Amino acid sequence: METMTVRRMQFAFKPDMDPVFIKDDPDMSFMFLGAWMMLPYLEPFLIRTMRDALPQVRDEQLKEDLRRFCAQEGEHFKQHAMANDLIRALHPSYEALRTLEAELDRELKEFTRTKPLKFKLAYAEGFESMTSAVSRAQFEVGLYDRTDNPLADLGKWHVMEELEHRSVAFDVYEHIVGSWPYRFKQSLWSQRHYFGWVQRFKNVLVVPQAELIAAYQAPAIVAARKAYNRHYLRRALPRVLGTYMPWYNPAKVDLPEAFETARLHYSSTATTLA
Ligand SMILES: [Fe+2]
Ligand SMILES: [Fe+2]
């Protein structure tokens, strides 16, 4: 298992950032931005879940991993909150995002209060296994390397640290709960819950962007985008399916070389906190 470095980043966010930060792909860009609007609520939920689990963890290394997981997630949602403030300011209709944000925050805080630990740990693991599976594919196809948009830089740093801590939610789930059928069932539930919310945020984001989206519909751009997305999905889908298997273990997955390169890059540009 790689060491988990807690990095404090300084991204070159600007008020006039282009929301289309995935090359020539407004649809995927707005989907990511929708997902990222959730992170200042979702990642604190993961942190609360891990802290609820901590008293039941009897392994010193796992306790340390859990603390580092929380510290990395804490940096993630702070950076995303800064980017989200700039995204929300791009259009007056984006004020509607705040209503969704408040509803999501309420729902996840309710999960923390009312759901059993087993549910919350399986939710966290379902989210983490899915994000680490797609992160591997994203590194393989260089998804964030095709524009110099600071949002792409944010995305790349985030998925790199998601891979660094990919085993923690799984290990804590295995240590405390350990049931594969429940993990399988609950992963599907949590991923459906998550993507339902992503879609709601994305729907608000795309409303005022018809003109921008139309600028990417020339046949050559559409064909290149389809080919690239097929190339990405061919890598992402088998990795996501692999996470549902009873023998899945995030410590044993192959990692792309670009992940190691990104770790070194971000370690050299960050302030290291731990
Ligand atoms: Fe994260
Ligand atoms: Fe994570």
Model confidence at 27, in pLDDT bands (50, 70, 90)? very high
Residues 69 and 262: their CA atoms lie apart, in Å, by 18
Structure tokens at 58: 């009897």
User: How far does the centroid of ligand 2 lie from the alpha carbon of residue 23, in Å?
Assistant: 25
For the stretch 61-92, pLDDT in tens is 999 999 999 999 999 999 999 999 999 999 99
Residue with tokens 């603390």: 67
Nearest Cα to Cα of residue 108 among 185, 186, 47, 187: 47
Q: What is the pLDDT of residue 274?
A: 82
User: How far does the centroid of ligand 1 lie from the alpha carbon of residue 38, in Å?
Assistant: 11
What percent of the chain clears pLDDT 90, i.e. is strictly above it?
97
For the stretch 228-270, pLDDT in tens is 999 999 999 999 999 999 999 999 999 999 999 999 999 998 8
User: How far does the centroid of ligand 2 lie from the alpha carbon of residue 193, in Å?
Assistant: 17
Ligand with an atom nearest the CA of residue 169: 2
Residue with tokens 């791009």: 90
Q: What is the pLDDT of residue 78?
A: 98
Residue 183 pairs in a beta bridge with none
- Could you confirm whether domain 25-266 is CATH 1.20.910? yes
Structure tokens at 230: 């097929």
User: How far does the centroid of ligand 1 lie from the alpha carbon of residue 94, in Å?
Assistant: 23
pTM, to two decimals:
0.97
User: Average pLDDT in the 51-70 region?
Assistant: 97
Residue 272 pairs in a beta bridge with 7
For the stretch 125-158, pLDDT in tens is 999 999 999 999 999 999 999 999 999 999 999 9
Ligand with an atom nearest the CA of residue 164: 2
Ligand with an atom nearest the CA of residue 128: 2
Our measurement of the distance from residue 254's CA atom to the centroid of its chain's CA atoms, rounded to an integer in Å, reads 19
pLDDT at 123 over 90: yes
